[in-house]
Amino acid sequence: MVEENSKHVICIVSPNKAAYSETFIQAHIDRLPAKIITLYGYPIPNQTGNGEYIGNTSGLNFRIQRTIDKRRGGNSDQKLREGILRRYLSRNSVRALMAEYGHSAVALMEVCKNVGIPLIVHFHGHDAYSQKILGSEGQSYPDLFRIASALVVVSNDMQSQLVKLGAPSEKIFVNPYGVEISQFAGANPENSEPIFISVGRFVDKKAPHLTILAFSFVLKSQPEARLIMIGDGPLLEASKQLAYAIDITNSIEFRGACDHNQVAEELRSARAFVQHSLKTSYGDSEGTPVAVLEASAAGLPVVATRHAGIKDVIVDGESGFLVEERDINGMAQAMSHLAKDPVLAGLFGKSGQERVKRDYSIEKSIDNLWGIIRNCIGEG
């Protein structure tokens, strides 16, 4: 990995301070070899990573200007915050701004244009697919694609999606997430009990209820199997109630949100990783799920759907099994196969681990991202 060069000041902007599931954003902040300034807030960021505000939006001058502007039918809050941000970027000699999520970048494109710094837009998933986002901020995406210096996506599917939305292909860079291999390595699925593990937020596009239904079919032929589900989210309670309703609570555990060390430990004791990602009725979709990468880094076979970046990572019949979205019978058969054949699980796990080491290490991901940023600031 390239060494840090403090002369490069890069501002990373995210709508919210990174949630536990947004480890990819924290990796950008921690690992890019530059002086990183982080800002949070939406649509115009106004808070630094340590909680300080970059400008006084409660002072008398701000309130007077806002009152005058409102009487004229304007939007003083937006314009004044843009001005504060422009001065902040200039004062700190920022060389480039990277916006995490496309909809976050929309309100920043004119600021970057006025300051004269390149805007790198990092898409992650729902910002490229969700009908709600595409119906609001997405209306400004054509302007964003024109102004942005680079558009970073995490899967081949997402690249195709941005092209469909009108992005010029020469500005799109596919750079999947990476994982810290050594943090997760150590699984021995060939010697583990038939324990299946799922890691991720309980949200529609990860369809935890379909994973549970598939597992219930596995129990009919493999009653000793167990499912451990790690994560939190709006569908957690509904998932628990489903487990009660189909009477499998003795075979399934809901662990809630866990830190990375806990997740790594659970992966090391499992037979296989499972995830039933899908495209929702309102268009939401995954990017490349980090948990799939972590499971392969651990040395586990993966049973998942042919969805988004998953099919870039997992080779069907070589490092796991892929089924069509909503095919719970197919998922159950794949899980049962691995439950019955620990040797195959071990072979798949080793194959997946080698693939992740080669193509999906955190070092490779960050190096590629840094190369994109350097090209944008004219030092590539």
Q: Which domains does the chain have, with CATH numbers?
A: 5-178+361-376 (3.40.50.2000), 181-359 (3.40.50.2000)
Q: Which two tokens stand for residue 192?
A: 């583990």
- Band (pLDDT 50/70/90 cuts) for residue 221 is very high
13 neighbors 37 (Cβ within 8 angstroms):
no
Q: Which two tokens stand for residue 177?
A: 């997430």
Mean pLDDT confidence for 203-215:
98
306 neighbors 322 (Cβ within 8 angstroms):
yes
Cα dist from 267 to 108, 178, 183, whole Å: 40, 17, 11
Q: Is the pTM of this model over 0.85?
A: yes
Mean pLDDT of the chain: 92
Asked if residue 362 has pLDDT above 70, the reply is yes
Looking at residue 78, its pLDDT comes to 79
3-class state of residue 345 by DSSP: helix
Asked if residue 22 has pLDDT above 90, the reply is no
Where is pLDDT greater, at 20 or 314?
A: 314
Asked if residue 5 has pLDDT above 70, the reply is no
User: What are the CB-based long-range contacts (under 8 Å, 24+) for 343-346?
Assistant: 343/190, 344/301, 345/189, 345/190, 345/192, 345/271, 345/272, 345/300, 345/301, 346/188, 346/189, 346/190, 346/191
Looking at residue 77, its pLDDT comes to 72
Looking at residue 21, its pLDDT comes to 54
Asked if residue 265 has pLDDT above 60, the reply is yes
- Band (pLDDT 50/70/90 cuts) for residue 60 is very low
Mean pLDDT confidence for 274-288:
97
